[in-house]
Amino acid sequence: NISPSDTVSDWGGVSPVGSTLSVASSHSGRHEKVKDKERGGVSGLTRSGSRSPLRGSKDHPTQSIEGTGSPSAIDKIEPAEIALSGNSLTYEMKLDLQNKLGFILHALAAAHGDVGYCQGMDYVVAHLLRVLQETVKYKDEKRALPICIATSRRPHARKPDIVDPQAKDKVIDSSSLVVEETVFRVMDAFMSRYNLRHMYWPELRCLKTCCRVFECLIQRKLPVLADHFEHHELNVGLFALGWFQTLFLYLPSMPSATVCHMWDIWLVERSFKIFFRVGTAILFLSQPILLNHDLEGMMTYLNTFPDATLLNPDILIACALQIKVTNKMLLEMEMEVTGGTGTDSGDHLHHA
């Protein structure tokens, strides 16, 4: 069996806003629960009253989308197979990642005042940190970062003049923020140039439209499963909302390689249609199991994926690319669910 490795959505308790963390004490083998302090308004900017979507460690999983607190698929995976699980990160590493995450999210909230902070951003930023951190540090050492990165260690970078010798220790080394600035600029490009900000728009209008379009897509591509959902009164938004809001990082056993492959296609095509294809592929591959469960069983499965084999990129992405979803098709369904008015964001879903 293929077991998911390098899972990205479980940070072992690294979260930027008031969520319950489970961290391993450096002085004992026991776990203690730590609650984040409010940080300069970021917690207040969360549009939902629930906890941050970043999951806690496997000892203290956060509540599922139904609020049942059911264990995630991480419980059934060996800790060594999860690169960022609580057992593989020291307290100092968690604290460093948490500080970086909070710093970037504060900057994003300030740069995009009309959007602020919304749940789901922390997942995306956390994944960017996970993927880019070591590369950024390496390129910074080699002086190979783009010139637009103001905190990089370029040869011509001018160090601040220190008039008061006693103030030397108070000067902040700007190069220590090179990871934060680089990740911020990447996320800022996602928000501005690829229209990811629409997913976090006030009242989540675009996100809700995505879920309704996805429901129409299920009816077209998987009519038997759509009838099964309707029979058991399963609202597609119950699971699809988290998928789209976090660009599929919400799934606890989603491998990093699958997410990166998915995002590569999104960035090259400049279209959100890959996310609709992946979502449809997940349901297609899960259809035999889902058709044999009631509402509770389906929600448990869709929130945990106990058999994570189907999330392997060689299986999931290959299947997704076989599902025909065009921009014209998405536009037609969008017009159908919005009554011909389109999304309130000013751009259509298929444009990224």
Shared domain check, 225 and 120: no
306-310: long-range contacts, CB 8 A cutoff, minimum separation 24: 306/73, 306/76, 308/3, 308/4, 308/73, 308/77, 308/253, 308/255, 309/1, 309/2, 310/282, 310/285, 310/286
Q: Is residue 168 part of a domain?
A: no
Task: Classify 155 in phi/psi space as left (phi over 0), alpha (psi -120 to 50) or beta.
Answer: alpha
pLDDT value of residue 201: 87
More confident residue, 150 or 22: 150
Q: Is residue 312 part of a domain?
A: yes
Q: 91 falls in which pLDDT band (50, 70, 90)?
A: confident
Shared domain check, 93 and 147: yes
Task: Provide the domain count of the chain.
Answer: 2
What tokens appear for 228 in the block? 């099964």
Of the chain, the percentage scoring pLDDT greater than 70 comes to 65
**Which of 53, 16, 60, 61 shows the shortest CA–CA distance to 37?**
16
Residues in Cβ contact with 35 at an 8 Å cutoff, skipping those fewer than 6 apart: 18, 19, 20, 21
pLDDT value of residue 343: 54
Shared domain check, 194 and 232: no
Shared domain check, 138 and 248: no
Average pLDDT, stretch 52-61? Answer: 34
Shared domain check, 210 and 335: yes
Average pLDDT, stretch 284-305? Answer: 93
Shared domain check, 244 and 193: no
pLDDT value of residue 350: 54
Q: Is residue 120 part of a domain?
A: yes
Measured between alpha carbons, how far is 116 from 134 in angstroms, rounded to an integer?
Answer: 28
pLDDT at 15 > cutoff 90: no
Q: Is residue 308 part of a domain?
A: yes
Shared domain check, 150 and 246: no
More confident residue, 157 or 233: 233
Q: Which segments of the chain does DSSP mark as H helices, in order?
A: 91-111, 121-141, 178-192, 205-221, 223-231, 237-245, 256-269, 273-290, 295-304, 313-320, 327-338
Measured between alpha carbons, how far is 147 from 295 in angstroms, rounded to an integer?
Answer: 53
Q: Is residue 9 part of a domain?
A: no
pLDDT value of residue 312: 93
Shared domain check, 194 and 213: no
pLDDT value of residue 152: 77
Please indicate, yes or no, whether the overall pTM of this predicted structure exceeds 0.75.
no
Q: Is residue 248 part of a domain?
A: yes
Count how many Cα atoms sit within 13 Å of the Cα of residue 206 in the half-sphere of its side chain. Answer: 21
According to DSSP, residue 168 is labeled: G
Note the pLDDT tens digit of each residue in 247-272: 999 888 889 899 999 999 999 999 99
Measured between alpha carbons, how far is 216 from 194 in angstroms, rounded to an integer?
Answer: 24
pLDDT at 290 > cutoff 80: yes
Q: 124 falls in which pLDDT band (50, 70, 90)?
A: very high
Shared domain check, 101 and 91: yes
Range of the domain at 96: 81-154+173-202
Measured between alpha carbons, how far is 268 from 256 in angstroms, rounded to an integer?
Answer: 18
Measured between alpha carbons, how far is 102 from 111 in angstroms, rounded to an integer?
Answer: 14
pLDDT at 70 > cutoff 70: no
Shared domain check, 220 and 112: no
Q: Is residue 165 part of a domain?
A: no
pLDDT value of residue 155: 55
| 8 A C-beta contact, residue 95 and residue 28 | no
What tokens appear for 255 in the block? 């491998």
Shared domain check, 335 and 230: yes
| 8 A C-beta contact, residue 281 and residue 323 | yes
CATH code for position 262: 1.10.472.80
pLDDT value of residue 349: 59
Measured between alpha carbons, how far is 100 from 136 in angstroms, rounded to an integer?
Answer: 14
The pair phi, psi for residue 42, each rounded to 5°, is -60, -40
Q: Is residue 129 part of a domain?
A: yes
pLDDT at 340 > cutoff 80: no
The answer to which of 128-142, 148-162, 188-202, 330-344 has the lowest mean pLDDT is 148-162
Average pLDDT, stretch 304-315? Answer: 89
With helix as H, strand as E and coil as C, how does 123-148 read?
HHHHHHHHHHHHHHHHHHHCCCCCCC
Shared domain check, 97 and 207: no
pLDDT at 156 > cutoff 80: no
Measured between alpha carbons, how far is 11 from 25 in angstroms, rounded to an integer?
Answer: 16
